[in-house]
Structure 1
């Protein structure tokens, strides 16, 4: 025990030590079910589950919950109408399909899940018992919401029936139309790879996995209680060892830091990473991540975010590797926004063309405070969606003036660091010549224009058992 004097000097003394155990008996099997559309005080603990099914690979769950049709608040007439609209017509071969609502009334709802988090490697469930804390790793967070697919099918049938009952005379009078036949060219390997990672491909893989029926065990059953006991480590096991680790090593082993590629993927999926984690990375990675997130930032803003332990010279060195100076502010390099061998999200434009268009837009911003998007489109010849994407990621539109960068122009950096500013001017002069050569080959020479003020600029227009552990 530390002396009383040492306890007084410690602002945050240890008041109690609790043994921590890691239980793995339910690892890769434990999920948290969340019901965003259901109040916490009225969950599904006492509900009657008719059917349950799971897709273990894609982590999807489907549950049929019975509706009490004898309740005084239940609208019998409306329930029958919904059941009738959900019925599908008899097949052509005479085989009748099983009705969605077997009792001719809406007597159930179907809950389908979606992932709340793409990765749960650093999450677990803790149980405190007999002065010990037991942690079980989580497989995933699933949010279950009512599914109304039968209503979508009913609407589609109505539309199809409307088309089939159209005026036959109009069909007879319809004249032949010219049909243009086109042949698809072979796509490059990197574009094929990007399409394999698309949402449509992922949705197809999900639909191909078969549902596996499950036996649901209520939270109040003996089976559920026995399963909860598996979250407690067996104290008699000899495999429990003391950890002779530093605080940092212990935290890293408990919650391993994300690797760079994992961190980039997390950013793409729009999951925020804390600034405290970013500050643990090398300085170059810190500057790159912050600039990719902000797109446009002044040096004063960047310096205020980074730790004071980093020298200004080091920050400037790495900043010039990942960003360019425009109107006294720093803008992330186009190659980091559109990496090599990728395509745009809208029309599948290769990254090389996206970078060239973005560089031309940035070059225009070095010459004008406001830029006309239509004038840019007439030069770079990309689809309107791609042009708008480039502008909206780093600029905003001001009526009757045009687009300007999201950070106002400033002369502060140029005055404080004239050598770097001069070096950036030389970079843009070389970039101007490079773009001119490329566009001259396409008969699209970007004219060099003198600087204009804002007033001179142009205006712009199997069977698996699922057990509930929650009590």
Structure 2
């Protein structure tokens, strides 16, 4: 942050506690990328992510629902990698005897309880772009479901009678009696129908390939340039500070005098 060449002012001029103001930074807002920016969180990562660390082998998106998947390669040559276990789990991603050599990160929407902004400092100016979408990327374990499905199919071929008996026992154990009001039954039915409908629509939407460019690439730098505002006209406020606070947090008059 650069220090302004203009004479410093007292904080009292701004209605702040007495303290020296060492810099005044112009703030500009830009909307060039506000519909494209996503904030990706990696809850399983500690600390910062270095360039190239999470370079995916493949990336894809469902544009309508905004779901993203990244296939992150695993180092199968690492002495810490269990190739025997990797081969056993590899049937969950391929029938060709391939090792489990990727981990798939899938996006999960999170409640946006606060507003996020992407900020860039350039020439002593702060340029801000609103971020409309915040998601977390968590490992997908779908390959385990596929392994289980294949194991079950193999067992059915070898033990069809035994499997049928297990199904009967499971069906008998899963029966339970519940009593609900007609209103509760209808509410539950509508909820289940709505969830099933949304899940069906999500699964029906095809994936679209994404081109991934890491930090420092020409493509990344070109997009980064769009975070800088072109229009630097001053915004004229049409509200007083009290009116703005009232619009944001409600009445600013204390309840108890």
Task: Provide the TM-score with structure 1 as the length reference.
Answer: 0.42
CA distance in 2, matches of 1:158, 1:54: 30
Does residue 308 of the first structure (1) align with residue 250 of the second (2)? no
Residues 147-195 of structure 1: CA deviation (Å, up to 9, x unaligned): 1101112213333544563328x88xx9xxxxxxxxxxxx9xx969954
Does residue 232 of the first structure (1) align with residue 228 of the second (2)? yes
Does residue 214 of the first structure (1) align with residue 220 of the second (2)? no
1:119 touches 1:140 (CA, 8 Å); kept in 2? Answer: no
Q: How does 1:48-127 map to 2 (within 5 A)?
A: 48-84=55-91, 86=92, 99=94, 104-118=98-112, 122-127=115-120
Q: Which 4+ stretches in 1 moved above 6 angstroms?
A: 1-5
Aligned length in residues: 228
Change (3 A) 1:308 1:160: farther
The structure with the larger Rg is 1
Change (3 A) 1:63 1:4: closer
Provide structure 1 residue ranges, at least 5 long, that are not aligned to the other structure.
88-98, 175-186, 258-276, 284-305, 310-471
Give the drift of 1:215.
Answer: 0.8
Provide structure 2 residue ranges, at least 5 long, that are not aligned to the other structure.
1-6, 169-182
CA distance in 2, matches of 1:231, 1:208: 34
Does residue 153 of the first structure (1) align with residue 146 of the second (2)? yes
Change (3 A) 1:132 1:42: closer
Change (3 A) 1:123 1:10: closer
Change (3 A) 1:107 1:222: same
* 2:17 maps to which of 11, 17, 21: 11
Does residue 200 of the first structure (1) align with residue 196 of the second (2)? yes
CA distance in 2, matches of 1:6, 1:31: 39
1:217 touches 1:224 (CA, 8 Å); kept in 2? Answer: yes
CA distance in 1, matches of 2:9, 2:160: 93
Change (3 A) 1:51 1:41: same
Alpha-carbon RMSD across the aligned residues, in angstroms, is 3.8
1:117 touches 1:140 (CA, 8 Å); kept in 2? Answer: no
> Which residue in 2 is equivalent to 1:385?
none
Q: How does 1:283-302 map to 2 (within 5 A)?
A: none
Residues 174-220 of structure 1: CA deviation (Å, up to 9, x unaligned): 9xxxxxxxxxxxx9xx9699548833332222222221111111112
Q: Which has the higher contact order (CA 8 A, sep 6+)?
A: 2
SS at 1:198 equivalent? helix
Residues 59-116 of structure 1: CA deviation (Å, up to 9, x unaligned): 21001111122222222222112113x26xxxxxxxxxxx27x661111111101012
CA distance in 1, matches of 2:58, 2:156: 36
Does residue 31 of the first structure (1) align with residue 38 of the second (2)? yes
Give the drift of 1:52.
Answer: 0.4
Give the drift of 1:125.
Answer: 1.4
2:9 touches 2:20 (CA, 8 Å); kept in 1? Answer: no
SS at 2:105 equivalent? strand
> Which residue in 1 is equivalent to 2:180?
none
SS at 2:227 equivalent? coil
Give the drift of 1:223.
Answer: 1.1
* 2:133 maps to which of 106, 121, 140: 140
